[in-house]
Amino acid sequence: MSALPALNILVCGIGGQGVMTAAEVLAQTAIDHGFDVKKSEVAGMAQRGGVVTSHVRIGPRVLSPVIAPGAVDLLAAFEIAEALRWCDQLRPGGRIVASSQRLVPPVVSGGLYAYPEDAVGLLRTAGATAGVEVRVVAAGEIAAGLGDRKLINTIMLGALADALPFPAATLEAKIVERFQARKPALAALNREAFAAGREAADSGH
């Protein structure tokens, strides 16, 4: 187990993308490796289409489940405008792994906010200004290519895997075990999605 301070992960997206499931898988995998973990859904909305965020803190000893403003090490954004919304929470030297998928939430369709025209470009600019690494993954396109849009959370977990304090193989195994007994075909598909996410992250600068 790492002796480093807590790794602060902010997972964000839109309801129905599997944000909270992904956060739970991250937490359970870390626990299996002997880490202390605290997790909270601090702005979650259960209904499909609402903005969802989850804090996951992993370390030798973690006291608070909430990440302080400006202390996020890793932002996992399942929707590109949400990446832009939360990018100012990263510390200098942090990392953003974001899906390029565009999903317009109710706060936009209701007229409260305007959706950015070039969210990817704005995110890259913001990252460069703040000294934050930005990787953009075409998770929606990958999921569509695999035939199941519900795979986005597995693709994004694959994209995050090499930034975590435990082996990617164990994170993959934690995902696959959810399907192995009753739905072996889905287990195989999730393996493929996880590998595709890892590969996409490597080329997502």
Query: pTM of this prediction?
Result: 0.91
Contact by Cβ (8 Å): 25, 157: yes
Query: 35-77, pLDDT tens digit by residue?
Result: 999 999 865 554 556 789 999 999 999 999 999 999 999 999 9
59: helix, strand or coil? strand
Task: Give the domain ranges of the chain.
Answer: 7-202
Pick the residue with more confidence: 194 or 106?
194
Domain 7-202 has CATH 2.60.40.10: no
Query: 164-175, pLDDT tens digit by residue?
Result: 999 999 999 999
